[in-house]
Structure 1
Amino acid sequence: MKISVLMSTYNDERFIEEAINSILQQTFTDFDFLIIDDFSKDRTSAILSNFARRDKRIRLVRNRRNLGLTKCLNNGLHLAKGEYIVRMDGDDISHPRRLERQYAYFISHPVCVILATEGVIIDEQGQALRDRKIDLGGMDQEEYLLNFSSPFIHSGVMFSRKAILKLGGYNEDFRTRQDIELWLRALASGMKIDILKEKLIYFRFHEESISNRNPDNLYTNVLVRMLHLAKKQGMRLSKEEATGLLRNDRGVRMYVRRILARKAFSIALSNFRSRRYLHAVDAFCKCVVEFPYAVRPVRLLPIVGRLLAVHEKRGR
């Protein structure tokens, strides 16, 4: 088996059929499809059962309790049979030639271990909002990841299962932002993330998305980078110590407000383009209330560097 497509899903009844069909209709056929149902409470489970009965490529795993994405992905890495893992989410759509194009890249680049692809941001109805290109602005990959959100769509990535398992898999200390932590750890180990400049994943942006709603995920954004940079600089810093520092820092709180406002602004634009004008006005008001000048990108590295300096000063 060349490829295992790995999907963890939770309450994705609105989009799961389209996501699964986009994999089953791939031009590349030498794959199995491992789907982990993380104790969904809606119709997701019934939909998955129906698909599994009809297509033998699907292997369905049902959790008896909700484990979270990180643990599900690690379980999937061990259960998968393929040499390569293709990540997929239950609300996204893969281009019909995605597996074909990504596998061809791996074959022609034998040293490649992680491959990201460009994509298209779509709304709840599947309408294209904008292209999601990978442009690092002249930075190296680590510098960009330390400063900004990940340029790599997690559900658009393909990687060597053996290489990621050797690295330790996903870090289960983090329920979210596990992809950013993994990419930073991979880069620190000497790996490189190759980039395929083709739009092969349709990433769905919708209001129910956990990452769009939960401020804790934005604190985790800072936390992941703090711990990575501290380790790189040879500093002793526990997750608990780092959490205490960032929770009490005014700069971090402003960062969280600003990012929440940018999320609200993006939701407003999405609703406006979908002609859901009342929803658009509501989201735009949230943006203005939260942080009226939030449309400019925020650099994380200065915030993280200052927090680490505070920690080092306290330790003297």
Structure 2
Amino acid sequence: MKISIIVPVYNVEQYLAECLESLVSQDMSDYEIICIEDCSEDNSMSILKEYARKYSNIKIIRHTTNKGLSAARNSGIKAARGEYLQFVDSDDMLVKGACKKLYNNAKKSDADIVYFNMEFLNDTDKFLIRHEESNIDYVGQYTGRQLFCLYEKNNNHKTESVRQFIKREFVINNHLQFHEGIIHEDVLFYFLAAMKANTVIDINTSLYIYRQREDSIMWSQRDKTSGSLKVCIMNMCAYWLNDESFSDDENEIIGKYIKRIYDIYKQYEHYENEINECNMFGNRKEKIIQKIFLGKCDEVIYLSKDIIDKLRYNEKNIIYGAGKMATILYDYLHQNNVKIHNIVVTNKKRNHQTLAGIRVDEINELNENNDAIFIIGTDTKFQSEIEIELRNRGYKNIIKPSICQKRG
């Protein structure tokens, strides 16, 4: 199987047939179209069934509850069998010949990611707003970091996941997925994928038709923008802090990029005190991030690369805590491919029954040997007290994460 086209579907009966027509008419063979029906309340499912009867390469996955765009894409990734993945939103279209062009270019360079351009369709007036062709050609092969930095220097980021033709093996091996429960999930996925990609290319061609409509998720859920961007910023900072291999130039450029996303976040979040303008850049990433979070953003977790590697290969990792900091810690560890086996607290409360689907136990219920590693997921003011309690219980492997506290 050459390509898996992943199409999340939710309440798009007006546009779905046009989208599917653009996919089934691609001039190549050996590709699948995976449609994830996310509990639509309109006629979308009937349209999918009609097309699936006509085209054997269309497969339908139906969620039993509405989970959102990120979860739908993640379901598609799990089900995909193609060598490469192409995400398509169900109100958009692929240009004819897009799959063949993308696949041939990807195979020629053995690229982890192929970036490309989009056309923009005004849904109201039914005409192309803009045919995107950059006046900058990114000729040749790059690492993901190199091209990310070039994009930033030229103010030319290709953040949308629908314009990233991406190798499935690369996604699986790097545990890449879309952060569920937020909008603007592409911001985080784009950053992490670029940071991890060994070989990427850019083809300066518009191969995707993006429909701009006012009732889209991005428009209808704008109240979620600030919280979603906060999640993206915190996870980008956490990854950046944990990687010590960035050059001075890369650190400066990534700092500028995160600051730019933060400035967008500020537009949707009201502060009692405005952020102090200051020099955001330099080699001290911790100081950069502290300055970024002078406002009301929450804490950022940091663990060294050596500790992360140790946790990845440990058989029993336990988070102590089940509140806000534990949630941030779990998400940070998950993004760094660390598996958590247990979550424990001193006294379990009604609202602390599970965290990220893992049952929360009281420490008294735990019966672990000394090989278990505890990572304390609480505010720093409680860490020493919890460490003493764990040592009194005979546990020796205890980690207290560094936290960049909010300032101001």
> TM-score under structure 1 normalisation?
0.71
Match in the other structure for 2:225: 217
The yes-or-no answer on 1:228 pairing with 2:236 is yes
Q: CA deviation at 1:220?
A: 1.8
Match in the other structure for 1:264: none
- For residues 215 and 6 of structure 2, the distance between their equivalents in structure 1, rounded to whole angstroms, comes to 22
Match in the other structure for 2:97: 97
Q: SS where residue 236 of structure 2 aligns? A: helix
- For residues 179 and 146 of structure 1, the distance between their equivalents in structure 2, rounded to whole angstroms, comes to 20
Range that drifts further, 171-180 or 207-216: 171-180
- For residues 46 and 73 of structure 2, the distance between their equivalents in structure 1, rounded to whole angstroms, comes to 21
Match in the other structure for 2:344: none
| Distance of aligned partners of 1:234 and 1:100 in 2 relative to their CA distance in 1, 3 Å threshold | closer
Q: CA deviation at 1:129?
A: 0.5
Match in the other structure for 1:256: 268
Match in the other structure for 2:253: none
Deviations 1:256-280 (A, max 9, x none): 289xxxxxxxxxxxxxxxxxxxxxx
Range that drifts further, 179-188 or 32-41: 179-188
Q: SS where residue 87 of structure 2 aligns? A: strand
Q: One-letter code of the match for 1:229?
A: C
Match in the other structure for 2:292: 307
Q: SS where residue 159 of structure 1 aligns? A: strand
| Distance of aligned partners of 1:183 and 1:145 in 2 relative to their CA distance in 1, 3 Å threshold | farther
- For residues 264 and 208 of structure 2, the distance between their equivalents in structure 1, rounded to whole angstroms, comes to 32
| Distance of aligned partners of 1:52 and 1:212 in 2 relative to their CA distance in 1, 3 Å threshold | same
Q: 1 or 2 for the larger relative contact order (CA 8 Å, sep ≥6)?
A: 1
Q: CA deviation at 1:86?
A: 1.3
Match in the other structure for 2:341: none
Q: One-letter code of the match for 1:225?
A: I
Q: SS where residue 81 of structure 2 aligns? A: coil
Deviations 1:164-209 (A, max 9, x none): 0111131434532222212211233254542211111110000011
Report if the CA contact (8 A) 1:39-1:65 is conserved. Answer: yes
Q: SS where residue 293 of structure 2 aligns? A: helix
Report if the CA contact (8 A) 2:160-2:190 is conserved. Answer: no
| Distance of aligned partners of 1:313 and 1:226 in 2 relative to their CA distance in 1, 3 Å threshold | closer
Higher helix share: 1
Return 5+ residue gaps in structure 2 as ranges.
Answer: 139-145, 244-261, 271-279, 282-287, 300-403
Q: CA deviation at 1:93?
A: 1.1
Which of 168, 185, 191 aligns to 2:175? It is 168
Which of 205, 208, 230 aligns to 1:198? It is 205
Report if the CA contact (8 A) 1:150-1:180 is conserved. Answer: no
The yes-or-no answer on 1:74 pairing with 2:49 is no
Q: SS where residue 90 of structure 1 aligns? A: coil
Q: CA deviation at 1:131?
A: 2.5
Match in the other structure for 1:129: 129
Report if the CA contact (8 A) 2:5-2:86 is conserved. Answer: yes
- For residues 219 and 147 of structure 1, the distance between their equivalents in structure 2, rounded to whole angstroms, comes to 28
The yes-or-no answer on 1:8 pairing with 2:19 is no
Q: SS where residue 176 of structure 2 aligns? A: coil
Q: One-letter code of the match for 2:189?
A: L
- For residues 237 and 267 of structure 2, the distance between their equivalents in structure 1, rounded to whole angstroms, comes to 18
- For residues 41 and 3 of structure 2, the distance between their equivalents in structure 1, rounded to whole angstroms, comes to 29
Q: One-letter code of the match for 1:33?
A: I
| Distance of aligned partners of 1:208 and 1:257 in 2 relative to their CA distance in 1, 3 Å threshold | farther
Q: CA deviation at 1:16?
A: 0.6
| Distance of aligned partners of 1:254 and 1:56 in 2 relative to their CA distance in 1, 3 Å threshold | same
The yes-or-no answer on 1:178 pairing with 2:163 is no
Q: CA deviation at 1:304?
A: 6.7
Q: SS where residue 233 of structure 2 aligns? A: helix
Return 5+ residue gaps in structure 1 as ranges.
Answer: 236-249, 259-300
The yes-or-no answer on 1:159 pairing with 2:166 is yes
Q: CA deviation at 1:43?
A: 0.9
Report if the CA contact (8 A) 1:116-1:152 is conserved. Answer: no
Q: One-letter code of the match for 1:28?
A: M
Deviations 1:54-88 (A, max 9, x none): 11111111111111111221121121111111111
